[in-house]
Protein backbone atom coordinates (compact mmCIF):
# COMPACT_ATOMS: atom_id res chain seq x y z
CA UNK A 1 0.00 0.00 0.00
CA UNK A 2 1.30 3.38 -0.87
CA UNK A 3 1.62 5.52 2.25
CA UNK A 4 -0.47 8.76 2.27
CA UNK A 5 1.47 11.92 1.87
CA UNK A 6 1.85 13.94 5.03
CA UNK A 7 2.56 17.15 3.12
CA UNK A 8 -0.03 19.83 3.95
CA UNK A 9 -2.33 21.09 1.22
CA UNK A 10 -0.83 24.01 -0.65
CA UNK A 11 -1.81 27.33 0.84
CA UNK A 12 -3.76 29.76 -1.33
CA UNK A 13 -1.60 32.39 -2.99
CA UNK A 14 -0.85 35.19 -0.60
CA UNK A 15 -1.39 37.81 -3.29
CA UNK A 16 -4.94 36.69 -4.20
CA UNK A 17 -6.97 39.84 -4.88
CA UNK A 18 -9.30 40.82 -2.08
CA UNK A 19 -12.10 41.20 -4.63
CA UNK A 20 -12.19 37.41 -5.19
CA UNK A 21 -12.77 36.79 -1.47
CA UNK A 22 -15.79 39.07 -1.33
CA UNK A 23 -19.20 38.21 -2.63
CA UNK A 24 -20.64 39.97 -5.64
CA UNK A 25 -22.41 43.18 -4.78
CA UNK A 26 -26.09 43.60 -5.51
CA UNK A 27 -27.53 46.78 -6.96
CA UNK A 28 -29.52 47.22 -3.75
CA UNK A 29 -26.32 47.17 -1.69
CA UNK A 30 -24.76 49.78 -3.94
CA UNK A 31 -27.80 52.06 -3.67
CA UNK A 32 -28.02 51.59 0.11
CA UNK A 33 -24.39 52.69 0.41
CA UNK A 34 -25.09 55.68 -1.84
CA UNK A 35 -28.00 56.71 0.41
CA UNK A 36 -25.72 56.48 3.47
CA UNK A 37 -23.23 58.82 1.84
CA UNK A 38 -25.95 61.31 0.88
CA UNK A 39 -27.38 61.20 4.42
CA UNK A 40 -23.94 61.89 5.88
CA UNK A 41 -22.51 64.43 3.44
CA UNK A 42 -25.27 65.64 1.13
CA UNK A 43 -25.56 65.18 -2.61
CA UNK A 44 -22.15 66.74 -3.25
CA UNK A 45 -20.58 64.03 -1.09
CA UNK A 46 -21.77 61.28 -3.42
CA UNK A 47 -19.07 60.45 -5.96
CA UNK A 48 -18.08 57.17 -7.54
CA UNK A 49 -14.73 57.38 -5.73
CA UNK A 50 -16.38 57.88 -2.32
CA UNK A 51 -18.89 55.14 -3.07
CA UNK A 52 -16.07 52.76 -3.97
CA UNK A 53 -14.38 53.55 -0.66
CA UNK A 54 -17.62 52.96 1.24
CA UNK A 55 -18.03 49.54 -0.40
CA UNK A 56 -14.34 48.63 -0.45
CA UNK A 57 -14.34 48.31 -4.25
CA UNK A 58 -12.62 49.82 -7.23
CA UNK A 59 -14.84 52.74 -8.31
CA UNK A 60 -14.64 51.60 -11.91
CA UNK A 61 -16.26 48.29 -10.93
CA UNK A 62 -19.35 50.17 -9.79
CA UNK A 63 -20.25 51.08 -13.36
CA UNK A 64 -21.62 47.56 -13.61
CA UNK A 65 -24.49 48.78 -11.45
CA UNK A 66 -25.02 52.32 -12.73
CA UNK A 67 -24.17 54.04 -16.01
CA UNK A 68 -23.00 57.29 -14.45
CA UNK A 69 -23.53 59.57 -11.47
CA UNK A 70 -26.81 60.91 -12.87
CA UNK A 71 -28.23 57.39 -13.06
CA UNK A 72 -26.88 56.79 -9.55
CA UNK A 73 -28.88 59.76 -8.28
CA UNK A 74 -32.00 58.33 -9.91
CA UNK A 75 -31.23 55.08 -8.11
CA UNK A 76 -30.93 56.86 -4.75
CA UNK A 77 -34.42 58.32 -5.26
CA UNK A 78 -35.68 54.87 -6.24
CA UNK A 79 -34.16 53.23 -3.16
CA UNK A 80 -35.85 55.70 -0.80
CA UNK A 81 -39.24 55.67 -2.56
CA UNK A 82 -39.23 51.88 -2.65
CA UNK A 83 -39.56 51.93 1.15
CA UNK A 84 -43.14 53.22 0.84
CA UNK A 85 -45.89 50.72 1.54
CA UNK A 86 -48.99 51.63 -0.47
CA UNK A 87 -51.86 49.14 -0.18
CA UNK A 88 -54.45 49.45 -2.94
CA UNK A 89 -57.39 47.61 -1.39
CA UNK A 90 -59.14 47.15 1.91
CA UNK A 91 -58.81 50.70 3.24
CA UNK A 92 -60.66 53.96 2.81
CA UNK A 93 -58.80 56.08 0.22
CA UNK A 94 -58.68 59.23 2.36
CA UNK A 95 -57.26 57.27 5.31
CA UNK A 96 -54.58 55.81 3.04
CA UNK A 97 -53.64 59.17 1.50
CA UNK A 98 -53.20 60.60 5.00
CA UNK A 99 -51.02 57.67 6.06
CA UNK A 100 -48.93 57.78 2.87
CA UNK A 101 -48.36 61.52 3.34
CA UNK A 102 -47.01 60.99 6.85
CA UNK A 103 -44.89 58.05 5.67
CA UNK A 104 -43.39 60.23 2.94
CA UNK A 105 -42.71 62.94 5.54
CA UNK A 106 -41.00 60.38 7.79
CA UNK A 107 -38.76 59.31 4.89
CA UNK A 108 -37.97 62.95 4.15
CA UNK A 109 -37.02 63.64 7.77
CA UNK A 110 -34.82 60.52 7.77
CA UNK A 111 -33.20 61.44 4.44
CA UNK A 112 -33.46 65.25 4.10
CA UNK A 113 -30.65 65.48 1.54
CA UNK A 114 -32.58 63.12 -0.75
CA UNK A 115 -35.64 65.40 -0.85
CA UNK A 116 -34.25 67.63 -3.66
CA UNK A 117 -33.93 64.50 -5.82
CA UNK A 118 -37.59 63.71 -5.23
CA UNK A 119 -38.90 67.25 -5.58
CA UNK A 120 -36.81 69.40 -7.89
CA UNK A 121 -34.58 67.16 -9.98
CA UNK A 122 -36.24 65.64 -13.06
CA UNK A 123 -35.22 62.03 -13.72
CA UNK A 124 -32.84 61.69 -16.63
CA UNK A 125 -34.86 59.00 -18.42
CA UNK A 126 -38.34 58.87 -19.99
CA UNK A 127 -41.20 57.78 -17.75
CA UNK A 128 -41.42 54.20 -18.99
CA UNK A 129 -37.66 53.66 -18.72
CA UNK A 130 -37.25 54.91 -15.15
CA UNK A 131 -36.40 52.57 -12.26
CA UNK A 132 -39.48 50.64 -11.22
CA UNK A 133 -39.16 51.79 -7.63
CA UNK A 134 -39.85 55.38 -8.72
CA UNK A 135 -43.00 54.34 -10.59
CA UNK A 136 -44.61 52.03 -8.03
CA UNK A 137 -46.04 54.89 -5.90
CA UNK A 138 -47.70 56.29 -9.03
CA UNK A 139 -49.17 52.93 -10.10
CA UNK A 140 -50.36 51.99 -6.62
CA UNK A 141 -51.97 55.35 -5.87
CA UNK A 142 -53.69 55.29 -9.27
CA UNK A 143 -55.06 51.86 -8.34
CA UNK A 144 -56.14 53.07 -4.90
CA UNK A 145 -58.00 56.02 -6.42
CA UNK A 146 -59.63 54.12 -9.28
CA UNK A 147 -60.79 51.48 -6.79
CA UNK A 148 -62.38 54.34 -4.84
CA UNK A 149 -64.33 55.44 -7.93
CA UNK A 150 -62.17 58.11 -9.55
CA UNK A 151 -61.98 57.77 -13.35
CA UNK A 152 -58.38 56.95 -14.41
CA UNK A 153 -57.72 60.42 -15.85
CA UNK A 154 -59.05 62.07 -12.68
CA UNK A 155 -56.93 59.70 -10.59
CA UNK A 156 -53.83 60.94 -12.43
CA UNK A 157 -54.77 64.58 -11.76
CA UNK A 158 -55.37 63.75 -8.09
CA UNK A 159 -51.95 62.07 -7.87
CA UNK A 160 -50.25 65.15 -9.34
CA UNK A 161 -52.12 67.52 -7.03
CA UNK A 162 -51.49 65.33 -3.99
CA UNK A 163 -47.75 64.99 -4.51
CA UNK A 164 -47.45 68.64 -5.55
CA UNK A 165 -48.94 69.62 -2.20
CA UNK A 166 -46.92 67.02 -0.31
CA UNK A 167 -43.56 67.97 -1.79
CA UNK A 168 -44.30 71.66 -1.26
CA UNK A 169 -45.10 70.97 2.39
CA UNK A 170 -41.83 69.06 2.81
CA UNK A 171 -39.79 71.87 1.27
CA UNK A 172 -41.47 74.38 3.57
CA UNK A 173 -40.62 72.28 6.61
CA UNK A 174 -37.01 71.70 5.60
CA UNK A 175 -36.55 75.43 4.97
CA UNK A 176 -37.65 76.37 8.49
CA UNK A 177 -34.12 77.14 9.70
CA UNK A 178 -33.33 79.15 12.80
CA UNK A 179 -30.77 81.91 12.49
CA UNK A 180 -29.76 81.47 16.14
CA UNK A 181 -31.22 78.24 17.62
CA UNK A 182 -30.00 79.13 21.13
CA UNK A 183 -31.84 82.45 21.20
CA UNK A 184 -35.10 82.38 23.20
CA UNK A 185 -36.64 85.49 21.60
CA UNK A 186 -38.49 84.37 18.45
CA UNK A 187 -37.74 87.53 16.45
CA UNK A 188 -34.02 87.16 17.08
CA UNK A 189 -33.98 83.38 16.74
CA UNK A 190 -35.28 83.56 13.17
CA UNK A 191 -33.24 86.62 12.26
CA UNK A 192 -36.43 88.57 11.52
CA UNK A 193 -35.10 91.56 13.44
CA UNK A 194 -32.94 92.22 10.40
CA UNK A 195 -36.00 92.90 8.24
CA UNK A 196 -37.23 96.51 7.87
CA UNK A 197 -40.22 96.82 10.21
CA UNK A 198 -42.13 99.11 7.83
CA UNK A 199 -41.85 96.65 4.90
CA UNK A 200 -42.48 93.37 6.75
CA UNK A 201 -44.82 94.11 9.66
CA UNK A 202 -46.91 90.94 9.24
CA UNK A 203 -43.94 88.61 8.87
CA UNK A 204 -42.20 90.10 11.90
CA UNK A 205 -45.45 89.92 13.85
CA UNK A 206 -45.72 86.19 13.16
CA UNK A 207 -42.32 85.40 14.67
CA UNK A 208 -43.75 83.43 17.59
CA UNK A 209 -45.92 81.34 15.23
CA UNK A 210 -43.06 80.71 12.84
CA UNK A 211 -40.75 79.50 15.58
CA UNK A 212 -43.36 76.98 16.75
CA UNK A 213 -43.56 75.33 13.32
CA UNK A 214 -45.01 71.80 13.58
CA UNK A 215 -44.45 69.94 10.32
CA UNK A 216 -46.89 67.12 11.08
CA UNK A 217 -49.67 69.54 12.09
CA UNK A 218 -49.09 71.70 9.02
CA UNK A 219 -49.27 68.60 6.84
CA UNK A 220 -52.59 67.56 8.41
CA UNK A 221 -54.04 71.03 7.95
CA UNK A 222 -53.22 71.03 4.25
CA UNK A 223 -54.39 67.45 3.79
CA UNK A 224 -57.76 68.28 5.35
CA UNK A 225 -58.41 71.04 2.82
CA UNK A 226 -57.13 68.92 -0.08
CA UNK A 227 -59.16 65.82 0.80
CA UNK A 228 -62.38 67.80 1.26
CA UNK A 229 -61.96 69.15 -2.26
CA UNK A 230 -61.16 65.72 -3.69
CA UNK A 231 -64.20 64.17 -1.97
CA UNK A 232 -66.40 66.84 -3.51
CA UNK A 233 -64.94 66.07 -6.93
CA UNK A 234 -65.57 62.35 -6.46
CA UNK A 235 -69.13 62.98 -5.28
CA UNK A 236 -69.76 65.14 -8.34
CA UNK A 237 -68.54 62.38 -10.63
CA UNK A 238 -70.77 59.81 -8.92
CA UNK A 239 -73.83 62.08 -9.26
CA UNK A 240 -73.18 62.55 -13.00
CA UNK A 241 -73.20 58.80 -13.64
C-alpha Rg value of the chain to the nearest Å: 26
C-alpha to C-alpha distance for 89 and 164, rounded to whole angstroms: 24
pLDDT at 2: 42
Q: pTM of this prediction?
A: 0.76
- Tens-binned pLDDT, residue by residue, of the chain (241 aa): 444 444 444 444 333 333 333 568 899 999 999 999 999 999 999 999 999 999 999 999 999 998 888 889 988 988 998 888 888 776 799 999 999 999 999 999 999 999 988 887 766 667 777 777 778 888 999 999 999 999 999 999 999 999 999 999 998 888 765 566 666 677 777 788 888 989 999 988 988 887 777 889 999 999 999 999 999 989 887 667 6
22-66 adopts what CATH topology? Arc Repressor Mutant, subunit A (1.10.10)
End-to-end alpha-carbon separation of the chain, Å? 95
Burial of 47 from C-beta contacts in 10 A (0-12 / 13-18 / 19+): middle
pLDDT at 19: 37
Give the 3-state secondary structure percentages of the chain, helix then strand then coil, rounded to 5. Answer: 65, 0, 35
Burial of 31 from C-beta contacts in 10 A (0-12 / 13-18 / 19+): buried
* Phi, psi of 15, deg, nearest 5: -95, 20
In the CATH scheme, what architecture does the domain 86-176+213-240 have? Orthogonal Bundle (1.10)
Give the domain ranges of the chain.
22-66, 86-176+213-240
Burial of 95 from C-beta contacts in 10 A (0-12 / 13-18 / 19+): exposed
Amino acid sequence: MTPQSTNPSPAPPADRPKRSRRGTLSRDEVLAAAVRLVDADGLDGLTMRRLGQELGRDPMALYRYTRNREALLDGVAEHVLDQLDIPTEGSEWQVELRRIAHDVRALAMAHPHVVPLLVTRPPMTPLGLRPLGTLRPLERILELLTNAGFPPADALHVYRTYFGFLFGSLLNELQEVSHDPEESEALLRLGLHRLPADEFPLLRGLASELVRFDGAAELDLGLEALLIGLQARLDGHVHRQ
